[in-house]
């Protein structure tokens, strides 16, 4: 995944979490730091080629975009399109591949499981493709349970590693300054200018309006 020797001197960060658990807002806030270049949902290795920043990273959801061991391949992609297999990771790399990257740090965000499931139900659809046609369908209760089971299982495995930090969505929304300060120290960057970083992060997140200057605590 790394094609430049100099990149091994940088810190690499992978933001993970279940769908609808707060991965996007965490990525927006972390990515607003001036020393961090962060991609969202890069399924290959484009993020590793970012230049000019001491910290580069990527954000993916578990397990629909990336799984602990399973990788995307042509067969599973074909089965997915044919409707034979409903779920497979979109990433061409597994988390196990990411763990081989030098100086890797993982930020894993978790939300209250019940509220997470309710949010997935409200969102209620996933994209599916079949040649040139695209349609949506509601996620079934057993699919939501399976998704969250896999996400939490992955979290339990990763949090035993020293290079993993678990962040609670509630803490991020209620006390973003303290939570981000801990995250930035974990990543080895300065935690100065948190107020400005939070303003920029919320403004450029697609869930918030451009005029937004604070996090919506009603979403906890």
CATH number at residue 215: 3.40.50.300
Contact 109, 26 (CB under 8 A): yes
Q: What is the pLDDT of residue 198?
A: 93
Predicted TM-score (pTM) of this structure: 0.86
> Smallest Cα–Cα separation from 37: which of 67, 15, 19, 58?
58
Cα distance between residue 184 and residue 182, in whole Å: 6
Cα distance between residue 166 and residue 49, in whole Å: 26
Output the CA torsion sign for 96, 101, 103, 108: negative
Contact 97, 71 (CB under 8 A): yes
If one counts the domains in the chain, the total is 1
Average pLDDT of the chain is 85
Give the containing element (helix H, strand E) for 116: helix 113-123
Helices 194-203/23-31 angle, 10° precision = 130
Contact 55, 10 (CB under 8 A): yes
pLDDT (average), residues 116-125 = 80
pLDDT (average), residues 35-40 = 95
Q: What digits encode the pLDDT tens for the residues 123-170? A: 654 444 433 333 444 568 888 999 999 999 999 999 999 999 999 999
Question: Which residues constitute the domain of residue 49?
Answer: 5-219
Strand pairing report for 104-110 and 126-130: unpaired
């Amino acid at each position: 995944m790394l094609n430049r020797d100099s990149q091994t001197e940088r810190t690499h960060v992978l933001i993970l979490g279940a769908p609808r658990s707060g991965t996007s807002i965490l990525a927006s806030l972390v990515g607003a730091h001036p020393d961090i270049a962060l991609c969202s949902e890069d399924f290959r290795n484009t993020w590793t080629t970012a230049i000019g920043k001491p910290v580069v990273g990527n954000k993916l959801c578990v397990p629909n975009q990336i799984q602990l061991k399973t990788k995307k391949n042509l067969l599973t992609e074909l089965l997915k399109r044919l409707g034979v297999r409903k779920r497979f990771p979109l990433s061409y790399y597994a988390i196990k591949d990411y763990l081989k990257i030098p100086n890797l740090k993982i930020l894993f965000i978790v939300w209250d499981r019940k509220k997470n499931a309710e949010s997935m139900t409200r969102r209620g659809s996933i994209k599916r493709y079949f040649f040139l046609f695209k349609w949506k369908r509601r996620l079934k209760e057993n699919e939501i349970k399976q998704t969250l089971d896999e996400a939490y299982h992955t979290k339990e495995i990763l949090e035993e590693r020293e290079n993993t930090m678990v962040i609670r969505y509630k803490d991020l929304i209620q006390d973003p300054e303290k939570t981000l300060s801990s995250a930035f120290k974990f990543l080895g960057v300065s935690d100065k200018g948190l107020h400005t970083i939070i303003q920029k992060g919320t403004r450029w997140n697609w869930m918030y309006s451009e005029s937004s200057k604070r996090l919506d605590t009603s979403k906890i």
